[in-house]
Amino acid sequence: MPRPPPIVFPQEQRLLSELGERLRLARKRRKLSNAVVAQRAGISRTTLYKVEAGAAGATLGSYLRVLAVLGLEGDLHKLAADDRVGRKLQDLALEPQTTPARRPRKANTATSSPAPDTQEAP
């Protein structure tokens, strides 16, 4: 029995659908049929339909194979290339930690010997 597709939030589903639509348009611009792209990618036509529909259940490998057949696999280098949040977190971890200045400790008067009250004259 096939596994259920992963849970995908609406904005993520929209991104997948847009990717699938762009792949479908790229295939049509190249005047390639579903059967030809599926055969070259080594996937079934059903899987190609899922990829072009932006199905969350389609594997990343299927998306990659379709990108490769269309000559667009180099676009994967652009994914997550500009990780601003990650670099900011890394920079914060590399900054020297500033510790608050320590106050000098006062000598504990209870344990030290009492000072003489009177001084002897020479």
Q: Which domains does the chain have, with CATH numbers?
A: 10-73 (1.10.260.40)
Residue 12: per-residue pLDDT: 94
Per run of 10 residues, the mean pLDDT along the chain (length 122 residues) is 82 96 97 97 97 94 96 89 87 76 70 58 56
Regarding pTM above 0.75, the answer is no
Amino acid 28: pLDDT? 97
Q: Would you give the DSSP letter of residue 101?
A: P
Long-range Cβ contact pairs of 57-64 (< 8 A, separation 24 or more):
57/4, 57/5, 57/6, 63/19, 63/23
**pLDDT at residue 24, rounded to an integer:** 97
